[in-house]
Amino acid sequence: MANHIKIPHDTYVKDKLKKNLYAFINHESFSGILIFFCVIFAMLIANSQFSHTYFEFQELKIGVFWGESQYGMTILHAINDVAMSLFFLMIGLETKREILYGELVGFKKIAFPVLGAIGGIIMPIVIYLAFNHDTPSAGGFGVAMSTDTAFALGAILLLGKRVPLSLKIFLVTLAVIDDLGAILVIVFFYTSSLNAFWLVIAGIIIAILLYYNYQDKHRLAAYLILGIFLWIAIYNSGIHATIAAVIVAFSIPGRSNVSDHYLTNLKNELNKIDILIKNGSNFFETHIQKQQKNIFKEWIYDLGNFFKSDQNLTKKFNIKEQSKRAQILDSISKYSAYAQNPLIQVQTFLHPVCSYFVIPVFAFVNAGVKLDSNIDFSLDHIFLGTVLGLVLGKPIGILLFVLIGEKCKIATKPKDLTYAHIFATSCLAGIGFTMSIFVANLAYNNQNAINLAKISILYASSIALIVGISALYLSTKPTKNQDTQELAESTPQKP
């Protein structure tokens, strides 16, 4: 058998994670463009003769209905609470991956985007509350603090190779921490009442998940089943259920389970294939001899052989040999699957699902707002607080906090990034579509405020997009470096 080059496991994991990050960037970039068209489509339908159908679709109930008993929810509710849990699961996995292997390894490295994210959360809240303190809409401060990763990366995609990969990674890291901050705000500020019984159930499930993680168990089915029960428990406890997805994400093991025992067994199975080949067997051959080239004649030949009593007929299929080969392949498959990194497995599955389905559907269902005279733009200064919070608060907060962090030597700026790059990125961080609308649905108690918040988010995101793209264009120049080549090579090609 051919000699094998031994690749260090740590090197393999880092390369795999690096390619996974590139795939994430590609998925999110295309998703941003897809979301844009979904938003436009939703706005067009909401303001057309089909608007009643659009809003009736939002309130359509799905679930199990038996007589007077009903176990279900509206489509809007299902998308915002159930489908979006997949998105938060992906965000949680992305955060854990960055902490374990990526750009957040090491205190000073993690401090730079963390400080930027904190600044990008605090400053918009301050600006929003400056306009809306002591009003019924003060609780909507969370609307002005969130970054839409997909939209922001989709905007960066417009400039192609002008944008260095390190800038994209900085934006991803910033947005992931920003989203995590938004989740914590949802848990602590948008939870109205708590059910002690369900909180205890949730605590027990979390303890089991932590035990599984401590024992380094790699059966994904166990984590996902427990995750479903955790979602149900937290949903009934009164806390927003999406936090369940983040907890599950952090409990899923982030490293491969490769042991000497399994590597030895895998080597033994491969040696069996080597022995068969050396003995002259074709391991993947399923027929000993091809009697007829014509299929019809072969059927007639087989039928004739079936009715013959001659026991010395040559068998076309040796079931004993095929069974032996099937067992070898089954063992190799089992050992290979066991050695895979669970975190990467789930991420690889979730990236396209969230980027091409969950987020675009969320955008379509939530972005449709009927533009008529019923929208009160002076309602508690929601419009000014949201727009200025996203457009001004984000870049001011991010720049101020990373600058303080670097000057105080508690954070390290990536070498190939300038503050012009960071300013442009912080402007794009003002695109707050997905999470901002998600928070708006929780923060306000009346539909007029929700509709005004959505209009404010769309307006602010449009300004942030224009300013951010312009600043990024002026701060970059066309280059073709190694990172962009690697990114192109990692992009899936059409067959």
Give 334-391 as a 3 state SS string.
HHHHHCCCHHHHHHHHHHHHHHHHHHHHHHHHHHCCCCCCCCCCCHHHHHHHHHHHHH
The Cα–Cα gap between 422 and 411 comes to 14
Same domain for 155 and 140, yes or no, is yes
The pair of three-digit structure tokens given for residue 109, joined into one six-digit string: 């490295």
- The pLDDT assigned to 401 comes to 93
Q: Which residue has the tokens 């436009």?
A: 40
- The pLDDT assigned to 467 comes to 92
492 domain residue, yes or no: no
CA 438 to chain centre: 16
495 domain residue, yes or no: no
The Cα–Cα gap between 24 and 352 comes to 9
Contact between 2 and 123 under an 8 Å Cβ cutoff? The reply is no
456 domain residue, yes or no: yes
Same domain for 398 and 460, yes or no, is yes
The Cα–Cα gap between 456 and 437 comes to 10
- The pLDDT assigned to 55 comes to 85
Q: Measuring CA to CA, which residue among 442, 428, 426, 434 is closest to residue 354?
A: 434
Same domain for 59 and 125, yes or no, is yes
- The pLDDT assigned to 488 comes to 46
The Cα–Cα gap between 104 and 107 comes to 8
Q: Measuring CA to CA, which residue among 493, 488, 336, 354 is closest to residue 19?
A: 488
Q: Measuring CA to CA, which residue among 110, 89, 100 is closest to residue 17?
A: 100
Count of domains observed in the chain: 2
Q: Measuring CA to CA, which residue among 493, 494, 495, 489 is closest to residue 19?
A: 489
Same domain for 116 and 33, yes or no, is yes
391 domain residue, yes or no: yes
Same domain for 16 and 149, yes or no, is yes
Torsion from C-alpha of 206, 210, 213, 214, nearest 10 degrees: -160
The pair of three-digit structure tokens given for residue 251, joined into one six-digit string: 């409990």
- Digit-by-digit pLDDT tens for the chain (495 residues) are 444 444 454 554 555 555 555 555 555 556 667 777 888 888 889 888 888 888 888 888 877 766 666 667 788 888 877 888 888 888 788 778 777 776 556 666 678 888 888 999 999 999 999 998 888 888 888 888 877 766 776 677 667 667 776 777 777 778 777 877 877 887 778 776 778 898 899 999 999 998 888 887 777 888 889 999 999 998 888 777 778 888 898 888 877 666 566 667 667 777 777 776 666 665 555 444 444 456 666 667 666 666 665 555 555 555 566 666 677 667 666 666 666 678 878 888 888 888 788 888 888 887 777 776 567 777 778 889 999 999 999 999 999 999 998 888 888 887 778 888 889 989 988 888 777 887 888 888 888 888 888 889 888 988 998 998 899 888 887 665 444 444 444 444 433
SS3 content of the chain, % helix, strand, coil (to 5): 70, 0, 25
Contact between 17 and 101 under an 8 Å Cβ cutoff? The reply is yes
The Cα–Cα gap between 468 and 30 comes to 18
- The pLDDT assigned to 110 comes to 75
Same domain for 124 and 260, yes or no, is no
The Cα–Cα gap between 132 and 384 comes to 9
The Cα–Cα gap between 259 and 402 comes to 42
326 domain residue, yes or no: yes
Cβ-proximal residues to 98 (8 Å cutoff; 6+ apart), any chain: 104, 105, 173, 176
46 domain residue, yes or no: yes
Packing angle, helices 149-157 and 165-189, rounded to 10:
160
Same domain for 469 and 375, yes or no, is yes
204 domain residue, yes or no: no
Q: Which residue has the tokens 């994430």?
A: 24
| Residue 296 phi, psi (nearest 5) | -60, -45
The pair of three-digit structure tokens given for residue 16, joined into one six-digit string: 């795999």
Same domain for 167 and 270, yes or no, is no
Residue 341: Cβ within 10 Å count: 24
Phi-psi region of 193 (alpha: psi -120 to 50; beta: other; left: phi over 0): beta
Same domain for 322 and 415, yes or no, is no
Same domain for 128 and 165, yes or no, is yes
Same domain for 324 and 401, yes or no, is no
Same domain for 465 and 365, yes or no, is yes
The pair of three-digit structure tokens given for residue 339, joined into one six-digit string: 């050695």
- The pLDDT assigned to 67 comes to 60
> Any idea how long the chain is?
495
- The pLDDT assigned to 60 comes to 85
Longest dimension (CA), the chain: 97
Residue 476: Cβ within 10 Å count: 19
CA 11 to chain centre: 24
The Cα–Cα gap between 34 and 363 comes to 10
116 domain residue, yes or no: yes
Q: Which of 304, 338, 372 is the last residue of a domain?
A: 338
Q: Which domain holds residue 321?
A: 256-280+314-338
